[in-house]
Amino acid sequence: MAKETGKKLIAQNKKAYHDYFIEEVYQAGISLVGTEVKSLRAGRCSLKESYIRIENGQAFLYNMHISPYEQGNIFNKDPLRTRRLLLHKNQIRKLAAEVQAAGYTIVPLKVYFERSLVKVDIGLAKGKKLYDKRETIAKNDMRRQAEKEFKIRNLTL
């Protein structure tokens, strides 16, 4: 029996792209219990206000909300509990050095299933200033307007 090779998106942190410049993206595994995985399969996850810290040579994900599984009763865990991320030591050391030296932060970007495993894309990010956010919004508006004009021009020809 062939395994499914596609990715199934569970949750995405769109606000991270608005609030930060994403420099590098890493893929990490996440340590979960059974009822959390079942809840994720139902798509019940939120990355709002979640962040990642490196402590004692390990990466931890804070404030990721996974709703309790309805049939889980006593096996359900706290929805906002701290979860360990599974990364290589080299990656953890590099991320820790960047956070301390260059003033970066680490944010989760999206959570998805890759085959049967839950993965998290994390980004090494630098905060945007207010004028940077305005500039990004203006660029997106200009791009949308150009696409709209291009579409109208091609329909009339």
Give the domains, in start order, of the chain with CATH numbers: 7-127 (2.40.280.10)
In the chain (157 residues long), the average pLDDT of successive 10-residue segments reads: 68 85 90 81 84 90 83 70 89 89 88 88 87 86 88 74
In this predicted structure, what is the pLDDT of residue 66?
A: 82
User: Tell me, what DSSP letter sits at residue 58?
Assistant: E
In this predicted structure, what is the pLDDT of residue 5?
A: 62
In this predicted structure, what is the pLDDT of residue 120?
A: 92
pTM: 0.75
In this predicted structure, what is the pLDDT of residue 154?
A: 78
